[in-house]
């Protein structure tokens, strides 16, 4: 068993596309049973892959008895984004993925994707709606430190979504959704819009420190949903330190929505703004949760994002005036949650945790002092 690392980019890398790297995950000349596969992306030029299905084929060398222990798609540290678009490795498809397929499809166990900026701005009014789709075949999955944004228009049969799972999975599967920014998903053709939709999933959900902003539905009885889950009594959902703001639903504005009271729900220190319906805000989750740690009814001024101006460019970092500063729960190192959208290690830095993907860190430079001696 070994860790096998391959580079992905257009400047003398092992692979020039994500699709080509994924296609070799079952190659017995590269991998052995029990290996950990790591694909490291470089910002040589924007990636344009329309749909990438991460499954690795039927098994290493075509044998279903031999498989990788884990697969990670990541970004070299020097090319990570800074929490704003087009500052790091960029996946900006130029062709549509087909409806409800997803730009990234996660169809294997023990998969991690991190630090990628997925920009759907070239796919407005095309037959593409989901950024990350989790279909049958998926197991334990980690999605962290991602940017997913800018989908407008939608001619297909379902609205736009950031992270969407139509797969129930096993009750012992785990999904970590951590420190992501999902924003500007705009439906224009009679459907709903959602950032995180895990309704069918029946395993263990950890949704921590995400920032969600500007979701718009269109048409009667259509909803704008920050996150939805818990349509199975076996679901255990732990949801902490998230921001959901800027909902514009034709029917329901749901910041947080747990479908069944029989699902297990653990919440703390989440924020919803004044666009959320009261029954589905950070306090109640559609279950009269009565979470006393919730911050509800907040205005954009109180959240204090750096920029929500689409012309100037969205910047969902928070500033020093934000009510989110020092208002979060300390979540330790579960799933790597301690690393914020800028790469700051909250745990190692001894931070009082903020709510959302960004941990605000004031300038630590000390003032200079002059000492005069007699």
What are the pLDDT digits (tens) for 113-137? 999 999 998 888 788 899 999 999 9
On whether residue 225 sits in a domain, the answer given is yes
Nearest partner of 238 among 229, 248, 225, 251, judged by Cα: 229
What are the pLDDT digits (tens) for 185-220? 999 888 999 999 999 999 999 999 999 999 999 988
On whether residue 69 sits in a domain, the answer given is no
Region 18-22: mean pLDDT is 97
- Distance (Å, rounded) from C-alpha 162 to C-alpha 357? 15
On whether residue 176 sits in a domain, the answer given is yes
Residues in the chain: 374
On whether residue 259 sits in a domain, the answer given is yes
Specify whether the CB–CB gap between 331 and 359 falls below 8 A: no
What are the pLDDT digits (tens) for 242-270? 999 999 999 999 999 999 999 999 999 99
On whether residue 175 sits in a domain, the answer given is yes
- pLDDT confidence of residue 123: 87
- Distance (Å, rounded) from C-alpha 337 to C-alpha 353? 11
Going by pLDDT thresholds of 50, 70 and 90, the confidence category of residue 155 is: low
Specify whether the CB–CB gap between 311 and 291 falls below 8 A: no
Query: How high does pLDDT run on average in the chain?
Result: 94
The whole domain housing 265 covers: 80-349
Region 293-317: mean pLDDT is 96
- Bridge-based pairing state of the strands 271-273 and 224-229: unpaired
On whether residue 34 sits in a domain, the answer given is no
On whether residue 282 sits in a domain, the answer given is yes
- Distance (Å, rounded) from C-alpha 120 to C-alpha 217? 17
Task: Tell me how many domains the chain contains.
Answer: 1
On whether residue 373 sits in a domain, the answer given is no
């Amino acid at each position: 068993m070994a860790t096998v690392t391959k580079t992905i980019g257009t400047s003398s890398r092992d692979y020039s596309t994500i699709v080509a790297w994924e296609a070799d995950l079952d190659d017995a000349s590269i991998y052995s049973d029990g290996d950990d596969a790591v694909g490291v992306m470089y910002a040589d030029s924007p990636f344009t892959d329309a749909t990438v299905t991460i499954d690795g084929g039927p098994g290493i060398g075509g044998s279903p008895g031999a498989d990788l222990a884990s697969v990670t798609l990541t970004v070299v540290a020097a090319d990570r984004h800074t929490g704003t678009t087009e500052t790091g490795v960029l996946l900006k498809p130029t062709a549509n993925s087909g409806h409800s397929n997803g730009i990234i499809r996660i169809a294997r166990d023990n998969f991690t994707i991190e630090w990628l900026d997925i920009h759907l701005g070239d796919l407005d009014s095309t037959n593409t709606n989901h950024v990350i789709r989790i279909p049958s075949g998926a197991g334990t999955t980690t999605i962290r430190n991602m940017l997913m944004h800018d989908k407008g228009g939608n001619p297909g049969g379902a609205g736009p979504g950031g992270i969407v799972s139509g797969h129930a999975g096993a009750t012992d599967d785990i999904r970590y959704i951590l420190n992501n920014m999902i924003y500007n998903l705009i439906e224009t053709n009679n459907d709903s819009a959602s950032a995180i939709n895990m309704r069918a999933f029946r395993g263990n959900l950890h949704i921590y420190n995400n920032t969600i902003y500007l979701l718009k539905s269109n048409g009667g009885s259509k909803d704008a949903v920050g996150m939805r889950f818990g349509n199975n009594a076996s679901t255990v959902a732990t949801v902490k330190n998230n921001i959901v703001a800027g909902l514009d639903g034709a029917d329901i504005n749901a910041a947080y929505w747990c479908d069944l009271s029989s699902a297990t729900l653990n919440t703390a220190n989440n924020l919803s703004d004044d666009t959320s319906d009261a029954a589905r805000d950070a306090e109640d989750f559609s279950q009269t949760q009565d979470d006393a740690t919730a911050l509800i009814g907040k205005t954009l001024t109180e959240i204090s994002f750096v920029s929500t101006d689409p012309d100037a460019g969205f910047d969902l970092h928070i500033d020093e005036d934000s009510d989110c500063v020092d208002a979060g729960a300390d979540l330790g190192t579960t799933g790597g949650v301690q690393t914020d959208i800028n790469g700051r290690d909250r745990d190692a830095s001894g931070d009082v945790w903020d709510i959302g993907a960004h941990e605000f860190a004031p300038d630590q430079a000390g003032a200079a002092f002059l000492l005069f001696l007699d």
